[in-house]
Structure 1
Amino acid sequence: MICLRAIPSPRLHLPLLASSPLRRRLRRPSAAAMSSSTASPAIAAPIEHFVLIKVRPEALTSGAAAAMVSSLQALSALVPGLAYIHAGPVLRLRSPAAEALGPTHLLHSRYAAKPDLAAYAAHPAHVAAVQAHVAPNALDATAVDWVNAADLPSPVAPGAAVRLTLAKVKDGVEVARLVEEVREATRAAAGEGEGARVSFGENFSPARAKGFQFGMVAVFGSVEELDAVEGDAKVEEAKAALRPLLDDVMVLDFVVDAPAAAAASL
């Protein structure tokens, strides 16, 4: 973990719930696509760790943000138990809550079990990267963690476009109910024999989450595939069914690059 210290009609983005032609494009990637060393392994129920970072404007122009990204990406070779890590810029903010939060960068990592996440947080290489590069350059940070409650893993490969959704539920609504509703929706959308490339679950690290209780990622092969779901009738139907449970929703998109490409894009 990187340890740094109401909207009336929330916009829920569930791009995984689309018509059959699109669902076919959302199947798990081929073995060739997953052969890259920067691709995430197909862990059935990974621990998802997200940190949203609002970088100081001067860090963007001085190269400090690029150095931060490089230092975080380098942890993949230094920290045992770290199954996958991506650090890089946010592509676009997709909701009023995201615009209010204003993250410019994010870190996404995965672990097979909670003890692996705890070991990562305490590892000297991680602590050094935070102290040297994240803390001096971050105006704000928000973090969430969840155990994937989807039926299948959602592997991520370089070039993938990912939509992150964080949500707060309304008073009186159990987060477990939202998780179950999303699970049923993804099962209905995936179709027989197909696995939607999604991960979602209840946040288990509330102290750093700014009230967000639920997290979800949907993985696409490209930005064009992600954009193709906008306005899809089945997506809108799913949003309408879940909206009564929600108080606030934060949505953003990012693209997974190889480490060198991520640093060069800053």
Structure 2
Amino acid sequence: MLGVRTHLSVPAFSSSKHLLRQHLKPHSYSSASASRPSIKMTSSSTPTQSVVEHIVLFKVKDDTEPSKVSAMVNGLSSLLSLDQVLHLTVGPVLRSRSSTLTFTHMLHSRYATKQDLDAYSAHPSHVSVVKGNVLPIIDDIMAVDWVSPALPADHLLTPPGSAIRVSFLKLKENAGDHSKDEILGVIGGMTERFKQISQLSVGENFSPARAKGYSIASLGVFPGVEELEAVVSNEDVVNAEKDKVRDHIESVVVVDYVVPPTQSASL
């Protein structure tokens, strides 16, 4: 277990007010566009929506001035105001659980469609923050995107204080579609085995350029760090689940993150 020291003094934010405004935009529910996600009802009458998950992991240089780290986080946080963004949170990681790749900060954002993610990536405000505040102070970066097919519509926001565990899996060269389906099935069933998980999103990466060969991603949300630790400490059950798919996996990156307090004044 690796604890990652960060220089951040100003917390990032995740705004429920902005989330609701974006989520209720008419185009998010339009049936006229085939590219828009579908809203469907589960057996319990809970509306669900497919969303595009976007995770970026950053490794800030050790000698970076705290003011520059804060400028990076605040600049990325400000991108929540863009029309394409349904949800965005960014800040220091709690810990990085990988022997070969370590990171200090994480950004998690959500979009209604892949087209919205593309528009966000190409937006002048995003490009300006990346060029001016991110690239000059980082040693490494990794990004993974996937579609979560049926996320409860009222769970688009990860509330402040929530603990998030992000896992990226790199499969062995001989792993085929059957292996992928088996892995996705095992991960997707985690909510049945661990009741502490309040939200689970899993899928196959569709943006390989910055993913370092990792092709399957999952994001588990817990009410807080205590619930996350309860799952981590249940080693027998966790290892039993890992054993089901271990033969298909070459390496894993795991990052734990706590959603910072909301900074509504930053909107």
Aligned partner of 1:169 among 168, 171, 177: 171
Report the CA distance between 1:237 and its aligned residue.
1.7
**Residues 250 and 213 (structure 1 numbering): CA distance in 2 closer, same or farther, change over 3 Å?**
same
1:124-169 deviation digits (Å, cap 9, x = unpaired): 1111111110111111111111111467565411110000100111
Secondary structure in 2 aligned to 1:45?
strand
Contact 1:150 1:198 (C-alpha < 8 Å) held by counterparts: no
**Residues 173 and 138 (structure 1 numbering): CA distance in 2 closer, same or farther, change over 3 Å?**
same
1:196-215 deviation digits (Å, cap 9, x = unpaired): 51111111111111111111
Mapped to 2, the partners of 1:69 and 1:163 lie a distance apart of: 20
Identify the structure with the greater strand proportion. 2
Secondary structure in 1 aligned to 2:256?
strand
Mapped to 1, the partners of 2:151 and 2:183 lie a distance apart of: 13
Give the RMSD, CA atoms, in angstroms: 3.0
Gaps of 5+ in 1: 1-10, 12-33
1:107-137 deviation digits (Å, cap 9, x = unpaired): 1111010000000011111111111101111
Secondary structure in 2 aligned to 1:190?
helix
* TM-score, reference length from structure 1: 0.74
Q: Where does residue 56 of structure 1 map in the other structure?
A: 61
Gaps of 5+ in 2: 2-13, 24-46
Q: Where does residue 35 of structure 2 map in the other structure?
A: none
Report the CA distance between 1:259 and its aligned residue.
4.8
Mapped to 1, the partners of 2:135 and 2:85 lie a distance apart of: 21
Which residue identity does 1:37 align to in structure 2? K
Q: Where does residue 102 of structure 1 map in the other structure?
A: 102
Tell whether 2:219 aligns with 1:217: yes
Report the CA distance between 1:258 and its aligned residue.
2.7
Secondary structure in 1 aligned to 2:184?
helix
Aligned partner of 1:228 among 220, 227, 230: 230
Which moves more between the two structures, 233-242 or 199-208?
233-242
* TM-score, reference length from structure 2: 0.74
1:219-262 deviation digits (Å, cap 9, x = unpaired): 0010010000124243322111111111100111000013549x
Q: Which has the higher contact order (CA 8 A, sep 6+)?
A: 1
**Residues 94 and 185 (structure 1 numbering): CA distance in 2 closer, same or farther, change over 3 Å?**
closer
Contact 1:72 1:129 (C-alpha < 8 Å) held by counterparts: yes
User: Superposed, which structure 2 residues align to 1:65-76 within 5 Å?
Assistant: 65-76=69-80
**Residues 175 and 80 (structure 1 numbering): CA distance in 2 closer, same or farther, change over 3 Å?**
farther
Give the fraction of aligned pairs with identical amino acids, expressed as a percent.
38
User: Superposed, which structure 2 residues align to 1:22-41 within 5 Å?
Assistant: 36-37=16-17
Contact 1:48 1:111 (C-alpha < 8 Å) held by counterparts: yes
Aligned residues: 223
1:157-208 deviation digits (Å, cap 9, x = unpaired): 11100001001111221366434543355347528xx985111111111111
Which residue identity does 2:115 align to in structure 1? P
Which residue identity does 2:59 align to in structure 1? K
Mapped to 2, the partners of 1:183 and 1:150 lie a distance apart of: 14
